[in-house]
Amino acid sequence: MNRKNYFNIGAALLISCVFIFSACKKYDTAFEESPDQRINTALKKYESALTGSAAGWNGTIRTQNGSIYHFHFRFNNSNRVSMFSDFNLETATTARESSYRLKSLQTPALLFDTYSYLHMLSDPDAAVNGGDYGVGLASDFEFSLDSLAADSILLTGRVHGTKLTLVKATQADFDAWQNGRWATTLAFENINNIQNYFRRLNIGGVNYEVRINSVTRTVTFTWIDGGGNTRQFTTSYYYSATGIVFATPFNTGTQTLNGLEIVSWDAANAVLNVKVSGTATTISGATKPLKVDLSAPQRWWQTAASSGGYWISFDGFHVNGVNDAFNLKSIPNYYFVVYWPNYNPGSNDLFAPVFINAAGNGLELLYGAAPRAQFTADGRAVFTNLGFYPPYPSSGPARQSLNQLLLPQGYYFVQTSPSSYDMVSSTDAKAWISLDLVQ
Amino acid sequence: MRLKFLLILLLGSVALFSCRKEDPLVVDDISGLGGDTWTQTALDKWLYDTLVVPYNIATKYKWDQSELDLNKNIVPPKEEKVIPVMRSVKRVWMDPYILQAGELFFKRYSPKLFVLAGSANWNMDGSITLGTAEGGRKIVLYLLNDFKNKTMPGYVPGDSAVPKQMFHVIHHEFAHILDQTIRRPVEFDNVTKGFYTADWINTDDYSARQDGYVTAYALSSPGEDFAEMVSIMLIEGKSGFDDIVNSITGTSVRGTTAAEAKAKLRQKESLVVNYYKQAWNIDFYTLQLRVRNAIINELY
């Protein structure tokens, strides 16, 4: 036996050892169970948690754009879920049943798999939720189950990343939905039913003008401070079982308000009863702005006249709580109504409905009125008619709109953006028109 | 010496092969294997009894994103809309074909899966898609939540647009299946040859008709033209189709006169009618009458 042979044997041994110790090793598992076993266990755990709460779950959803909505879910063990939501008055009052499913979609997931109140936020038809067409409010109804604690479950939407928090509800929470406490809270939106343009809230002797946008859920307070200056504060709000909560607390100067408690809506008098820091007060209509913007009518006229532009409104006049009160939209091919300052330079303006032409590719004026605006020292604009561009109809929506414009007491103007104004009747603030600048 | 060497190698091999994993026949309980399951409701039973048992047609009304466009925001349908929609589908599409061509024909060629969505499928340009189909097997119906027929409270004639579009989609897709099973006559493709274009989206129905196409979509290809002809003729009925043909006036931008356009549509009509007779032994005008009457009962 020579050295070479020893070497060969050594090499062969070495190779065998490599086989023995490497090939024979079982693969490492970080977990004792297989992925399938673990996902089934997780799904079972979530299912028994969801169905285990007799009074259901309080759900809070924060959509992609930051709006907060509350839900109440009751899951049963046959894939059915019953729901309340603070989305609107109906969803807060009537429970709706739909279906749900727990499914493994890479992670354990909770799917609300037929239409429910939750889907109203996601509906791509903006007419349902006031969001954007094709997206809705960018909310989810398919959620990954992130974590499970004794009385709370965290979930994340699988498409838009909406955060949903489920907290075990008490019987009192459930009752608050059932006996209409949330519906009372949602009565806050009734302040849009106050027929006056101006809505006022009195807190500690100070009047605040309140404007709400119930689609984006934002509220704006306007008031006059000690120095006589107009101040404004805007915040988004969300609902709780007792009232509305401001996303940013409102510092009035003398106190900080976290929200308003909503007591009741008095439909007969169009008054919303609320409590501010425990003190009862009301939100009701007002006929005049807190502080009249004296130069607004002239600014409004001049903005268009100096740029050669004009003011338009698609909806026409809003009167006594009715949008498009004179039914302009019923005129065939109606597009918008125009007020054109200095239409005939130095002489008269133009007020007329504008139509889409027969070919459908342009606009046309068929007739018009020739008013003139005069501005009073107390901040109103009064319109008088000097004549017509015939044939102006003697009745119907166009004539009724003109008659409204020519209201002898005239209008206050509220500037809502650099290129938009609301023109509000100075008699009772129950008639107004929103005008946008086109130039 | 050599023997020892081999023995060692052998030992190594044994070590290598003894390392087999456990019995591969032990399979985990894989979640979701075999499809989704849930507690059956009266709705599930109705769908099973009405569509699965007699025709082997499945209806998926519960949310499954994988059946729809992944990049779109779509919502599932309201449960209370499912039965009215499928009942209408049965009356307007299934029953006329079964009465006209027999159950065997229908069972053999009908698409086997309906997927239902509650909202429309919104496109980037703001338009909406109301129906799609895949491979002669699956039909997706959208906008179920807006579905109303005249038996429902608050029905106004304007509500007919949504159901009519659904019926249009189904008849269109079924015409494709027939066409793909026994090909449409070659002459059909030659009637308005030369104008087919992928740019049909920029044409409106009226301009398409001035060139002898029944809708703008018919411009996209001869196959679509055929399916559009069949579906429009069925859902509009004979007099409705006549109205479409007679409404054509003037000369198209491509230079087709009204008389030529009308003649071309009439020629396509007769080719469709002959095809149904020769290929499927179906009297098209009787079928048309049945479909249109069903739609009238449904909507007007």
Quick one: B172 and B191 in the same domain? no
pLDDT digits (tens, 9 = 90+) for B204-240: 889 999 999 999 999 999 999 999 999 999 999 999 9
pLDDT at residue number B11: 61
Q: At B139, is the secondary structure helix, strand, or coil?
A: strand
pLDDT digits (tens, 9 = 90+) for A92-142: 999 999 999 999 888 899 999 999 999 999 999 988 988 889 999 999 999
pLDDT at B150 exceeding the cut of 90: no
B13 pLDDT band (50/70/90 cuts)?
Answer: low
In this predicted structure, which of A24-33, B102-111, B152-161 has the lowest mean pLDDT? A24-33
pLDDT at residue number A27: 62
pLDDT at A193 exceeding the cut of 90: no
pLDDT digits (tens, 9 = 90+) for B87-104: 999 999 999 999 999 999
Quick one: B248 and B159 in the same domain? no
Nearest-angstrom CA–CA distance, B133 and B179: 15
Write the CB contacts of A235 (distance below 8 Å, at least 6 apart in sequence).
Answer: A218, A219, A246, A247, A248, A250
Q: Is residue B206 part of a domain?
A: yes
Quick one: A314 and A424 in the same domain? yes
* Cα–Cα nearest to B177, from B117, B120, B108: B108
Query: Of B181, B204, B237, at which residue does a domain stop?
Result: B181
Report CA-CA distances (Å) from B187 to A89, B226, B270, B275. 61, 11, 11, 11
Query: Of B156, B181, B206, at which residue does a domain stop?
Result: B181
Quick one: B44 and B175 in the same domain? yes
Quick one: A267 and A321 in the same domain? no
Chain B residue closest in CA terms to A11: B5
**What domain range includes position A430?**
296-438
Quick one: B298 and B203 in the same domain? yes
Residue B143 distance to chain A (closest CA, Å): 10
pLDDT at residue number A58: 96
Q: Is residue B56 part of a domain?
A: yes
**What domain range includes position B133?**
40-181
Quick one: A144 and A53 in the same domain? yes
| Range B285-297 average pLDDT | 94
Number of domains in chain A: 3
Q: Is residue B92 part of a domain?
A: yes
Quick one: B199 and B296 in the same domain? yes
CATH number, domain at A418? 2.40.128.270
Beta carbons of A119 and B12 less than 8 Å apart: no
Quick one: A73 and A156 in the same domain? yes
ipTM > 0.90, yes or no:
no
Residues A40, A47 contacting (CB under 8 angstroms): no
Quick one: A258 and A302 in the same domain? no
Tokens of B60: 């998926």
* Cα–Cα nearest to A414, from A315, A323, A295, A322: A295
Nearest-angstrom CA–CA distance, A87 and A116: 12
Query: Of A223, A258, A286, at which residue does a domain stop?
Result: A286
Write the CB contacts of A90 (distance below 8 Å, at least 6 apart in sequence).
Answer: none
A16 → closest Cβ in B8, B72, B77: B8
Quick one: B154 and B198 in the same domain? no
Peptide bond into B84 cis (omega under 30): no
**Element containing residue B129 per DSSP (H, E):** strand B128-129
Quick one: B267 and B210 in the same domain? yes
DSSP class of residue B76 equals P
Quick one: A316 and A386 in the same domain? yes
Query: Of A286, A313, A328, at which residue does a domain stop?
Result: A286
Chain A residues touching residue B70 (CB < 8 angstroms): none
Nearest-angstrom CA–CA distance, B218 and B269: 14
Quick one: B232 and B295 in the same domain? yes
* Cα–Cα nearest to B84, from B162, B136, B138: B162
Quick one: B298 and B217 in the same domain? yes
CATH number, domain at A253? 2.40.128.50
Beta carbons of A99 and B62 less than 8 Å apart: yes
CATH number, domain at B149? 3.40.390.70
Beta carbons of A115 and B79 less than 8 Å apart: yes
pLDDT at B262 exceeding the cut of 70: yes
Residue B181 distance to chain A (closest CA, Å): 36
pLDDT at residue number B1: 53
Q: How far apart are the first and last CA of chain A?
A: 106
Tokens of A66: 């930051």
Chain A residues touching residue B120 (CB < 8 angstroms): 124-125
Number of domains in chain B: 2
Cβ neighbours of A223 (radius 10 Å) = 20
Quick one: A171 and A204 in the same domain? no
Q: Is residue B269 part of a domain?
A: yes
Quick one: A361 and A276 in the same domain? no
* Cα–Cα nearest to A259, from A287, A235, A283: A235
Between positions 42 and 81 of B, the ones with CB within 8 A of A are 61-65, 72-79
Residues B200, B153 contacting (CB under 8 angstroms): no
Query: Of B157, B181, B205, at which residue does a domain stop?
Result: B181
Beta carbons of B72 and A124 less than 8 Å apart: yes
**pTM (2 d.p.):** 0.79
Residues B119, A123 contacting (CB under 8 angstroms): yes
Q: Is residue A4 part of a domain?
A: no
Chain B residues touching residue A2 (CB < 8 angstroms): none
Quick one: B144 and B199 in the same domain? no
Q: Is residue A111 part of a domain?
A: yes
Chain A and chain B share a number of CB contacts under 8 A equal to 116
Beta carbons of A13 and B8 less than 8 Å apart: yes
Q: Is residue A124 part of a domain?
A: yes
Residues A421, A296 contacting (CB under 8 angstroms): yes
Cβ neighbours of A387 (radius 10 Å) = 13
Chain B residue closest in CA terms to A125: B119
pLDDT at A1 exceeding the cut of 70: no
| Range A3-12 average pLDDT | 65
Quick one: B170 and B277 in the same domain? no
Q: Is residue A26 part of a domain?
A: no
CATH number, domain at A166? 2.40.128
Write the CB contacts of A427 (distance below 8 Å, at least 6 apart in sequence).
Answer: A287, A407, A409
Quick one: A175 and A190 in the same domain? no
Q: Is residue B20 part of a domain?
A: no
A114 → closest Cβ in B19, B36, B61: B61
Cβ neighbours of A113 (radius 10 Å) = 23
Quick one: A402 and A334 in the same domain? yes
Residues B95, B294 contacting (CB under 8 angstroms): yes
- Tell me which range, A28-32, A357-361, A372-376, is most confidently predicted by mean pLDDT: A372-376
Q: Which of B31, B37, B45, B67 to mutate to test the interface with A (most CBs of A within 10 A)?
A: B31
Q: Is residue B18 part of a domain?
A: no
Query: Of A245, A265, A286, at which residue does a domain stop?
Result: A286
Beta carbons of B73 and A122 less than 8 Å apart: yes
Torsion angle in degrees (nearest 10) through CA of B283, B285, B286, B290: 130
Nearest-angstrom CA–CA distance, A276 and A384: 45
Q: Is residue A29 part of a domain?
A: no
pLDDT at residue number A191: 87
Q: Is residue B8 part of a domain?
A: no
pLDDT digits (tens, 9 = 90+) for A43-57: 999 999 999 999 999
Q: Is residue A30 part of a domain?
A: no
pLDDT at residue number B160: 85
Q: Is residue B49 part of a domain?
A: yes
Chain A residues touching residue B119 (CB < 8 angstroms): 123-125
Quick one: A323 and A408 in the same domain? yes
Quick one: B104 and B208 in the same domain? no
Residues B256, B212 contacting (CB under 8 angstroms): yes
Nearest-angstrom CA–CA distance, B237 and B287: 10
Chain A residue closest in CA terms to B10: A16
Tokens of B188: 């059909």
Chain A residues touching residue B79 (CB < 8 angstroms): 98-99, 114-115
Q: Is residue A25 part of a domain?
A: no
| Range A318-333 average pLDDT | 91
Quick one: A174 and A49 in the same domain? yes
Q: Is residue A96 part of a domain?
A: yes
